[in-house]
Amino acid sequence: MPPKPEILAAFEAAKGFMPVDEGLALYAAAEEAAALGPLLEVGTYCGRSTLLLAAAAREAGTTAVTVDHHRGSEEQQPGWEYHDPSVVDDDPGVGRMDTLPTFRRTLYKAGLEPHVIAIVGRSPQVAAVWGTPVGLVFIDGGHTDEHANADYEGWAPHVVPGGLLVIHDVFPDPADGGQAPYRVYLRALESGEFAEVSVTRSLRVLRRVAGPRAA
């Protein structure tokens, strides 16, 4: 089922970059995977996609977890294409991006705060101490090879059998966007641990079909 109209309206109103068709595909994946465990997102930004995970978690009686340092990814820094000066901390002693206040307002206005655990930290550091199996991992963090691979290596092993790995901004054609998420997507398929379930524009949904290989 699609998200409730008020959730979809909140999603469309929230600051962020995910188009509606990809959002609906993410929600469908979250709705399915929520029966298997918590839903975990890497890369929160201002909470646009978090709303969908939280709504699916609420319906299933589970929790959405979102991980972000809230200082913005590389392409969101000053001088880059996706920089938004409205989410820069205007304290003269800071002057850095801080998307956390906007994210919290997004959740609050949608009535979804009780269904989300927001972890403020860098993905590899959080993954290193994380020990809970999850029904879904949504990778939408930094888009360099270093960051995308670290997100995959840190979080994909926590997906339960039958659970879903969702990767955003997968562009097979370099003319359409950066290639790091695409290379991680290929890596997941080539591992033999994941099989493709669906493709919606740049959103790829994969299912765990085998356990993580021994190191």
Where do we find the tokens 């039958």?
162
In the prediction, which pLDDT does 86 show?
Answer: 65
E-strand spans in 31-180?
39-42, 64-68, 116-120, 134-139, 159-167
The half-sphere exposure of 91 on its side-chain side, counting CA atoms within 13 A, is 6
In the prediction, which pLDDT does 82 show?
Answer: 56
In the prediction, which pLDDT does 71 show?
Answer: 81
Q: 69, 70, 115, 143: which is the annotated catalytic residue?
A: 143
Distance CA 156, CA 136 (A): 9
Q: Going residue by residue through the chain (215 aa), what tens digit of pLDDT does each one get?
A: 899 999 999 999 999 989 999 999 999 999 999 999 999 999 999 999 999 999 999 999 999 999 998 886 666 556 556 556 666 656 566 556 789 999 999 999 999 999 999 999 999 999 999 999 999 999 999 889 999 999 999 999 999 999 999 999 999 999 998 899 999 999 999 999 999 999 999 999 999 999 875 43
> Exposed (0-12), middle (13-18) or buried (19+): which is 79, by Cβ within 10 Å?
exposed
Domain 5-208 - what CATH class?
alpha beta
Distance CA 124, CA 130 (A): 10
In the prediction, which pLDDT does 1 show?
Answer: 87
Where do we find the tokens 């201002």?
46
In the prediction, which pLDDT does 67 show?
Answer: 97
Active site residue 143: yes
Coil vs helix vs strand at 102: helix
Alpha carbon of residue 97 to chain centroid: 19
**Closest to 183 measured CA to CA, from 175, 171, 201, 195:** 171
- Name the pTM for this structure: 0.91
8 Å CB contact between 123 and 153: no
